[in-house]
């Protein structure tokens, strides 16, 4: 049944649990490399152009020592600040460890993370953001 067919009908608890079980039964597709994705459907010219537009050209040689995702820059944006505060993460990271941003308590701010994907498609990123009050967590 589709939800449009059930317009105006409330689901019982059992039906809701059944719908939840169906949603949990989703299985992610097997992981494929960019090369494998590019080689799918070689005869379909429009699909090939679409893949080229989305995925770009496959690099000839990939450096395996470079991580797949590289965070290049963090930018702290706050309306009360005169301008955005930016940390370049492509240089010496030890130099940045001693650098701190002071925020007043209760101030709204946003953090912008700039990153580069080097080899394969990335399904998700995880970000751990810690804010300390007066030097204490």
Other Cβ atoms less than 10 A from the Cβ of 13: the count is 7
Number of structural domains found in the chain: 2
> Does one domain contain both 44 and 18?
yes
Asked if 123 and 72 sit in the same domain, the reply is yes
Is the domain of 111 the same as that of 51? Answer: no
72 in Cβ contact with 93 (< 8 Å): no
DSSP 99: -
75 plus 113 within the same structural domain: yes
pTM of the predicted model as reported, rounded to 2 decimal places: 0.57
The tokens describing 123, both together, are: 């399904």
**50 in the same domain as 109:** no
The residue range of the domain holding 49 is 3-55
Q: Which of 55, 76, 96 is the last residue of a domain?
A: 55
71 and 18 in a common domain: no
Per-residue pLDDT tens over the stretch 8-65:
445 555 666 666 556 567 777 787 777 777 777 778 888 888 877 877 766 666 677 8
**pLDDT tens digits for range 105-118:** 888 889 999 998 88
Q: Is 89 exposed, middle or buried (0-12, 13-18, 19+ CB in 10 A)?
A: middle
Same domain as 90, residue 113: yes
Task: Characterize the bridge pairing of strands 109-117 and 85-88.
Answer: unpaired
């Amino acid at each position: 049944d589709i939800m449009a067919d059930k317009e105006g009908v409330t689901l019982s608890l059992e039906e809701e649990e059944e719908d939840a079980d169906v949603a949990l039964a989703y299985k992610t597709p097997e992981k494929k490399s960019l090369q494998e994705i590019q080689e799918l459907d070689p005869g379909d010219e429009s699909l090939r152009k679409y893949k080229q537009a989305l995925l770009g050209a496959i690099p000839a040689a990939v450096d395996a020592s470079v991580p797949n995702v590289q965070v290049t820059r963090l930018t702290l944006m706050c309306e009360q600040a005169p301008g955005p505060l930016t940390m370049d993460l492509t240089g010496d990271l030890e130099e940045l460890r001693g650098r701190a941003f002071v925020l007043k308590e209760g101030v709204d701010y946003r953090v912008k993370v700039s990153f580069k994907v080097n080899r394969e498609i990335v399904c998700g990123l995880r970000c751990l953001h810690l804010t300390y009050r007066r030097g204490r967590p």
